Amino acid sequence: MTPELRHLRYLAAVAEHGNFTRAAEQLHLSQPTLSHQIKQLERAVGAVLLDRTGRSVRLTDAGAAYLAHARRAVDEVAAAQRAVHDVTDLSRGLLRFATTPTFTPYLVGPLIAAFRARYPGVTVEFGELSQDAMESELLDDRLDLGIAFAPPRLPGITAEALYEETLAAVAGIAARPALPESVTPDDLTGRDLALLNSTFATRHHIDSYLHDHGVSPRIAVEVNSIQALLEVVSTSDLMTILPESVTETHPPLARIPLRPSMSRRTVTLLSAAEGHRSAAATAFAESVREQTR
């Protein structure tokens, strides 16, 4: 038997999950079917590829060597399939892009809407990722484009500056009918705030600003979701600090400038320096430039 592409995908899934059951669920196969397919592959290559003796399934040395080449084959076939569907008139195609989470509330929706209005036949795959994960996905050809901050973290990533992001104090209009014209560090001393947790780069940026000005606010609510934070602030008297553009797409919220202002961050369009850029990715990049200009 000659190994087929599906066998390579099956092996990669089992190696990733370390478990036949979870891999089978991801692949929408029964566990016995997946196990049989892997045994077929092992017979075809003449080597045991998986060590099944422990609590988790692991690659053998032969399996690790084989999978390194198999993954490249799977990626090349996927790239070939995208190239076939990537037509210059963009009547069809696939765009894969990601942003760091703070862009989702105000930027992702308008970007996708503008692109879809122009190219309705192109399928869009979007995800939220940390910048490190995003750059790795770009280098592995699992993403076409990403939106994050300068500078890039990994070699091989190209960053095109789009605009500068400004953070501001943000408060709910209903709970604060009389909003101040600006907020100073002294105003934040002892105040109850709702903030993103420390898994967000934005939180570290905020903490640095507060620390530099000797401010120790009370963190009344800490969340790991932008949407949850927006809901909390919209319906309470708590204040937060977020990109000021968030308020443009969330009418219940108002931005209040920080005085002195927080240092700005340069928002960038990220891509892999090498590799094929599809017609869909090229068109989306131009659309992003237009929308952020």
Q: Which tens digit of pLDDT belongs to each residue from 106-159?
A: 999 999 999 999 999 999 999 999 999 999 999 988 999 999 999 999 999 999
- Any domain includes 182: yes
Query: Where does residue 35 rank: exposed (0-12), middle (13-18), buried (19+ CB within 10 A)?
Result: buried
In this prediction, residue 257 carries a pLDDT of 95
Sequence-distant (6+) residues with CB within 8 A of 47 are: 60, 62, 63, 66
N- to C-terminal Cα separation, the chain: 56
194-209: average pLDDT? 93
In this prediction, residue 70 carries a pLDDT of 83
Please determine, for residue 250, whether its predicted confidence score (pLDDT) is greater than 70.
yes
The beta-strand segments (E) located in the chain are 50-51, 58-59, 93-99, 122-128, 145-149, 157-165, 167-172, 192-196, 218-223, 239-243, 253-256, 265-272
Average pLDDT of the chain, as a whole number = 90
Residue 212 is part of which domain span? 167-263
179 and 210 in a single domain? The answer is yes
In this prediction, residue 72 carries a pLDDT of 82
101 and 115 in a single domain? The answer is yes
- Any domain includes 82: no
pTM across the whole model = 0.69
- Any domain includes 42: yes
One-letter-per-residue 3-state SS of 37-100:
HHHHHHHHHCCCCEECCCCCCEECHHHHHHHHHHHHHHHHHHHHHHHHHCCCCCCCEEEEEEEC
**Among residues 146, 165, 292, which one has the least CA distance to residue 241?**
165
| Domains of the chain: total | 3
Query: Do residues 50 and 59 make contact, with C-beta atoms less than 8 angstroms apart?
Result: yes
98-108: average pLDDT? 94
pLDDT (tens digit, 9 = 90+) per residue, 185-199?
989 887 889 999 999
276 and 135 in a single domain? The answer is yes
- Domain C-terminal end among 75, 101, 133: 75
197 and 245 in a single domain? The answer is yes
Please determine, for residue 1, whether its predicted confidence score (pLDDT) is greater than 70.
no
**Among residues 94, 91, 83, 82, which one has the least CA distance to residue 124?**
94
3-state secondary structure of 123: strand
